[in-house]
Chain A
Amino acid sequence: MTQQVNENIVDKSIKRVHKLEARGVKVFYDNFEAIKGIDMQIKANKVTAFIGPSGCGKSTFLRLFDRMNDYVDGFRMEGEILIDGENIYKKKVNVEQLRKQVGMVFQKPNPFPKSIYENVAYGLKIQGIKDKKFLKEKVEESLKQVALWDEVKDDLNKSAMALSGGQQQRLCIARTLAVEPSIILMDEPTSALDPLSTAKIEELIYELKQKYTIVIVTHNMQQAGRISDYTAFFYLGELIEYDKSKKLFTNPEKQQTENYITGRFG
């Protein structure tokens, strides 16, 4: 009991054990139920992987945590999503503020059709930051974090569109880091990349989890096994099994999970 209390005090001042939480979450696109009631807690400073066959709702569920579904036509949600214990779907929540705290990396690298520098500085500039020196330092720091600095430091004014796919994706991660989020959501960030670029991103994710809570959707089971601490298996809008990755991949509880990870369907 005392231990519990102590842990809670630590939670408030440093970090909670559970960074993200879903409570009774259902999602509808018009009348189609894409998420059918999910309760889940995601640990801080860990990598959590979402796996499951195409169309099972991984992206939909992931995008709930930075409210990226809000603009989707026909989208409706029930239940609660909590970040650090706060329901982010409450009326008074500032969505723009929330998205600074929760970064997102997409499936296809999507740099802005602007220079490399402008891509990284964008998130800071829209916050009204104009200090050139600060911006420069932040751009450099972010590019170094994703190990892209040495490759592009002489071409910061070149168009980001000229970079290779792998470089573009690292740029997109750098752009996200520049805003200093505490959570990074990644939706199949390597599915459009070659094996070498994929390896670099995986290495990067491994380093980033010291500072960030990372949730990654992947349908590459090896990848989930390599980089994640926890894995959640989704099927037809339901959370079937959620456990330490080691456990889930070697000794799953559910037959459906086993079928999926052994490649018997999906």
Chain B
Amino acid sequence: MNNIKANRLKDQIFKYWGIACTLLGLVLLAIFIGSILIDGLQRIDWDFITSLPSRKAERAGIYTALMGSVWVLVLTTLIALPLGIAAAIYLEEYAKKGRLSSLLEVNISNLAGVPSIIYGLLGLEIFVRVAEMGSSVLAGSFTLALLILPIVIVSTREAIKAVPQSVRDASFALGASKWQTVARQLLPASFGGILTGVILALSRAVGETAPLIVIGALTYVPFAPESPMDEFSVLPIQIFNWISRPQEGFEVNAAAAIIILLLITFLMNGIAVFFRNKWQKKLG
């Protein structure tokens, strides 16, 4: 009898502890977003988005950094998507399950945990110097593509794995080759899941700062990039740059830019969740 009471008490304590922990996270996030909104919201207008950087805080805008981020996102996608999906298909459908493939698997999982600055150093050596891309959008995109590649591979594999074996059986039994089965059954059926993983990976890439600073992305660029070989900045670097200035006006600018960056991230996550739900319904 006593035991039951004691257990129930523990139950209650843990429940409230859990609620408190959850709330703490939410409250901190709310305070952070709230203070950013208070600081930055009034600064956001069309001019802020379309203006070039300036030494005067009230005239400075995020245009070049935003365009830099868009360029990097698009190129990163173009590089990481085919590589990641191809690797995932190979590992999931073609590779013989053995020591080599499990070694690869462990390695890829570990890569997802490597600090991003290490990718920056790798990018600096391989893309900027050896491949002679310089501190260009392309070099930055290759670097970020490497960074998100493990995430793309792992989530694509999960999505492909979620397609029931019976679909493969049925396809093979009708005389389909492996490639036909992959292209006509597995990829369409796992499309939503792959997309979800890719978008989440990209929303991580859009916030990355360290590796891009390492490869030499600029803190101040007067023009938006016009080709993959141009120099560039990105939103988080612009924010970092503004925050480190002493004048008050730039702090407001930084807050406003943070709001834009958060908006982009939330939007991407929202789209990812949307596709995940749609995809789960289709398979179920």
Query: What is the minimal beta-carbon distance from B159 to any residue of chain A, in angstroms?
Result: 13
**A106: B residues at CB distance < 8 A:** 166, 169-170, 173
Verify A97–B175 contact, CB threshold 8 A. yes
Tell me if A96 and B176 are in contact (CB < 8 A): yes
Residue in A closest to B167 when the chains form the complex, CB atoms: A112
Q: A112-B167, A113-B167 are in contact. Are A66 and B282 (CB under 8 A)?
A: no
Instruction: Say if the beta carbon of A194 comes within 8 Å of chain B.
Output: no
Report A42-81 CB contacts with B as 1/0, cut-off 8 Å.
Answer: 0000000000000000000000001010010100000000
Cβ-defined partner of B189 (8 Å) among A68, A99, A113, A127: A113
Bound complex: CA A112 to CA B163 (Å):
10
Does B283 make an interface contact (CB < 8 A)? Answer: yes
Verify if A103 is at the interface (C-beta below 8 Å from B): yes
- Select from chain A the residue with minimum beta-carbon distance to B180: A126
Q: Provide the residues of chain A in CB contact with B166, threshold 8 Å.
A: 106, 108, 110
* A68 & B169 in contact (Cβ 8 Å cutoff): yes
> Complex Cα distance A106/B165, Å?
12
Q: How far is the CA of A111 from the CA of B173 in the complex (A)?
A: 12
Q: How would residues 172 to 211 of chain B score, 1 for a CB under 8 Å from any chain A CB and 0 otherwise?
A: 1111110010001100110000000000000000000000
Q: How many residues of B contact A (CB 8 A)?
A: 20
Chain A residue numbers with a CB within 8 Å of B82 are: none
CB distance A126 to B164 under 8 Å?
no
State whether B283 touches A110 (Cβ < 8 A): no
> Residue-by-residue, is A83-114 near B (CB-CB < 8 Å gives 1, otherwise 0)?
00000000000001111100110101011111
Q: How far is the CB of B163 from chain A (nearest CB, A)?
A: 8
B10 at the interface (CB under 8 A from A): no
**Across the interface, do A126 and B172 meet the contact criterion of CB distance under 8 Å?**
no
Asked if residues B174 and A99 are in contact (CB atoms below 8 Å), the reply is yes
Task: Answer yes or no: A122 CB below 8 A from chain B CBs.
Answer: yes
Of all chain B residues, which has the CB nearest A98?
A: B175
A126-B174 in contact (CB<8A): yes
B14 nearest CB across to chain A (Å) = 41
In contact, B177 and A96 (Cβ under 8 angstroms): yes
- Kindly state the separation between the CA atoms of A106 and B172 in the bound complex, as whole angstroms: 12
Cβ contacts under 8 Å, A98 to chain B: 175
The verdict on A179 contacting chain B, using a C-beta distance below 8 Å, is yes
Q: Nearest chain-A residue to B181 (Cβ)?
A: A126
Within B118-171, which residues are at the interface with A (CB < 8 Å)?
164, 166-167, 169-171
Q: Does B55 contact A (CB under 8 A)?
A: no
In the assembled complex, the CB of B68 is this many whole angstroms from the nearest CB of chain A, namely 40
Q: Which residue of A lies closest to B185 (CB)?
A: A112
Report the separation of the CA atoms of residues A195 and B188 in the bound assembly, to the nearest whole angstrom: 35
The reply to whether B97 and A123 form a contact with Cβ atoms under 8 Å apart is no
Cβ–Cβ contact B173 & A113, under 8 A: no
Contact B167 A175 (CB under 8 A): no
Chain B residues 228-284 with CB under 8 Å of chain A are 282-283
CA distance A97 to B177 in the complex (A): 10
In the complex, the chain B residue whose C-beta lies closest to that of A101 is B175
List 7 A-B pairs, minimum CB-CB distance, nearest first. A110-B166, A123-B174, A100-B175, A104-B173, A99-B175, A96-B175, A110-B170
- 10 chain-A/chain-B pairs, Cβ below 8 angstroms: A68-B169, A71-B172, A96-B176, A97-B175, A112-B167, A112-B189, A122-B184, A127-B175, A176-B174, A179-B174
